Structure 1
Amino acid sequence: MTYEVDHRKPRPKRRGRRIVLTLVSVVAVIVVGALVAGMWYLNSLSSAYEDNAQTFEESFPEEEGRPVKAEDDESINILLLGSDENGGSGESEDLPRVPQGGRSDTMMLMHVPSDRDSVQIMSIPRDLWVEVPGQGQHKINAALSLGGLPLTIDTIESLFDARIDHVAAVDMLGFTGLVDSLGGVTVNSSYDQPFTTAEDFTFQPGEQEMTSEEALSFVRHRQSFPDGDLQRVRNQQAFIQAVIDQTVTPSNLSNPGRVRDLVETFSPHVIVDDTLDSGAVASLGWNLRGAVNNVDFFTVPTGESSYSDDGQWIFYQDEQAMADISEALADSTLDEYAASR
């Protein structure tokens, strides 16, 4: 099939704007699961999105040839994207950006198992060398610029032989807004040495308090790390986990006004596919209310690193890991795979 990129800014659709909890991007479904436990103020939260949330004009590839789930498979896969359009890779970018035609610089697959007892968030390294359908071999983050969201979804579905049910994107500034609302966030840095970013913030190993400016610098930085983007992915995961932990607290969830404030802070930075309507999100959130404390983060294992024939730095695939992940997604046992990492 042929993919053409539409570089026009996506137009808001009223159908998509009434998404009661578009926190459904990384922090999203997890936080939503707890928030909608208070279903009695659901309509109030919905109105908070009326003028903010947007939907993609075009999301999914043509149906022919896409993976088909087994009849008893009730798992849900949500692709989470950020783009480096309007900013290059490295210190200057606000990650993840809402993709509109650039390269997808941040890419995560959120898997909700059939039993709804947990959530797995799998980061996909942007430098992973893959077959982009109809385009040959490229870094996986090139699919967005080569064919927009449909080709990006086609590429990931082909890679893991797993169907993508929804797609969402969130600007990292949405998370930093939450950090301001929370009065700071405590993030656990997994890097075993201190490092200093271009903004002149120094981070130590282990837990530390961060302002929104410090947190944004923390998730952008990669120059200090021998494995570059892989450690940055780990930092992003640590930050997201911290925001989840400090947003979904009894004091926040028991205060409708507080929840509404958090929702209004986050929603302008989210864009989703038009199948992720308020009913779908509310239903999923309610079913996930017990999974808030059972979120697993991991990164797709890679093979050797090298240069491509055209001089790009790339990671080759770990073929066994790809096969294991594909099987776990098909069996809805990705939680077991994540626990083994």
Structure 2
Amino acid sequence: MSRPARAIEEPRRRRGLFSWFFTVVGIVVALSLVVGGFYVWRLWSTASDIERTNTLLPAGDADRPAADAAVAGSFNYVLMGSDSRGDGDRGRSDVLMLAHVPPTRDKVYIVSFPRDMWVEIPGRGQAKINAAYAYGGEELATRTLESLVGVRMDHAAKIDFEGFTGLTTELGGVTVTNKHASNVGEYRWPKGKVTIQGEEALTYVRQRHGLPNGDLDRAERQRAVVKAILVKMLTLDVLANPVKFNEVMGQFGKHFTVDEGLTNQMIFSTATSMKVRGGDDIVILQAPISGFGTSGDGQSIDIVNEGQLDEMAHAVRTGKMADYAAKYQDQPLAGGR
């Protein structure tokens, strides 16, 4: 009679093992759902905290590129940063960039427009591009950018100085390759890799005096820091650390302003459609400059390379920025290849 007893006991032991296994799996799944739920909540909360306004994009369709001027499936954002320090001061657009994503969604092309570019500002005539912000705020800055590339901006985002410094601080600093040794006040940056954050990062991206190409070197630094921020946010140090992730997302929510059309649903829809996997998929470029000059009223200006700008604008409209970037990514900041 002993055999039947053992035969009965074995299935019980197996059921115990199976029960233990599925209990552990259930706990892991539950924890994953809790953690995943936290990330979803944090992202949604951040998106909800972002200030929205109707002043970033031009109102109506008058004198704007057609809504279908760009190839279907691509999208274009204008990114702005103002040098205003508050107290009612509008300031000028210290940072003006185009973020272009092709229909494949596997790349982000960030093109900066140096603030001394001498361009046609709609309704105002020729001036430095950053004057558009002073003349007509974000709306005119966006309209000026649209007129240069012949594409309507789908959305717009603006960050203030406090947000910029706070973001680099929450990330624990960002590392960039510094092409030219320089210093400003107490800060000194040797040639090579430097890690910056907070007020130092802000000082670094604002410096122009003491750099060989002045405004163009400043714009290059801005592009490098923007990319470094994006790359740092994609690292496991941030994504796998709920506390760090929460702190960084909090900075986004407090200091970014976007257009009213960039709803939470739009942000999530865009984010889930992206196929960017790392820093190599974020390509930074400068709007083409042929050299330097002086305006009729004595201002030092950056002269636009009109032919290459037309080529870039065509690449944005047709989703061919990969070809444009391959051709021009390594050219000097000013002049030909």
Q: Secondary structure at the match of 2:298?
A: coil
Q: Secondary structure at the match of 1:207?
A: strand
TM-fit CA distance, 1:234: 1.2
Contact 2:76 2:101 in 1 (8 A): yes
Q: Tell me, in whole angstroms, the C-alpha distance in 2 between the residues paired with 1:70 and 1:213.
A: 40
Contact 1:177 1:266 in 2 (8 A): no
**Which one of 244, 262, 277 corresponds to residue 276 of structure 1?**
262
What is the TM-score with the length of structure 1 in the denominator? 0.78
Q: Tell me, in whole angstroms, the C-alpha distance in 2 between the residues paired with 1:326 and 1:290.
A: 23
Aligned-pair identity (%) = 36
What amino acid does structure 1 have at the position aligned with 2:101?
V
Q: Secondary structure at the match of 2:209?
A: coil
Contact 1:179 1:185 in 2 (8 A): yes
Task: Provide Cα deviations, 1:168-193, integer angstroms capped at 9, x if missing partner.
Answer: 111243233233223333221122xx
What residue in structure 2 maps to residue 180 of structure 1? 169
- The correspondence of residues 51-66 of structure 1 with structure 2, limited to 5 A, is 52-61=49-58, 62-66=60-64
Q: Secondary structure at the match of 1:234?
A: helix
Q: Tell me, in whole angstroms, the C-alpha distance in 1 between the residues paired with 2:85 and 2:109.
A: 30
What amino acid does structure 2 have at the position aligned with 1:336?
D
- The correspondence of residues 1-341 of structure 1 with structure 2, limited to 5 A, is 41-48=39-46, 50=48, 52-61=49-58, 62-68=60-66, 69=68, 73-86=72-85, 101-191=90-180, 194-197=181-184, 199-293=185-279, 294-340=281-327, 341=329
Q: Tell me, in whole angstroms, the C-alpha distance in 2 between the residues paired with 1:76 and 1:269.
A: 23
Task: Provide Cα deviations, 1:222-257, integer angstroms capped at 9, x if missing partner.
Answer: 111122111011112222222222221124213334
Q: Secondary structure at the match of 1:130?
A: strand
TM-fit CA distance, 1:40: 6.9
Contact 1:53 1:270 in 2 (8 A): yes
Aligned length: 289
C-alpha change, 1:258 and 1:228, in structure 2 (3 Å) is same
Q: Tell me, in whole angstroms, the C-alpha distance in 2 between the residues paired with 1:124 and 1:67.
A: 19
Q: Which has the higher helix share?
A: 2
Contact 1:124 1:299 in 2 (8 A): yes
Task: Provide Cα deviations, 1:105-146, integer angstroms capped at 9, x if missing partner.
Answer: 210000011110100000001111111112111111111222
Stretches of structure 2 lacking an aligned partner (at least 5 in a row): 1-35, 330-337
What amino acid does structure 1 have at the position aligned with 2:193?
E
Q: Tell me, in whole angstroms, the C-alpha distance in 2 between the residues paired with 1:177 and 1:59.
A: 23
C-alpha change, 1:211 and 1:49, in structure 2 (3 Å) is same
TM-fit CA distance, 1:298: 0.9
Bigger RCO of structures 1 and 2 (CA < 8 A, at least 6 apart): 1
Q: Secondary structure at the match of 1:186?
A: strand
What residue in structure 1 maps to residue 10 of structure 2? none
How much is the aligned-residue C-alpha RMSD, in angstroms? 2.3
Q: Tell me, in whole angstroms, the C-alpha distance in 2 between the residues paired with 1:163 and 1:116.
A: 18
Q: Determine which structure has more spread, i.e. the larger CA radius of gyration.
A: 2
Contact 2:102 2:319 in 1 (8 A): yes
Contact 1:132 1:155 in 2 (8 A): yes
What amino acid does structure 1 have at the position aligned with 2:55?
E
Q: Tell me, in whole angstroms, the C-alpha distance in 2 between the residues paired with 1:187 and 1:176.
A: 15
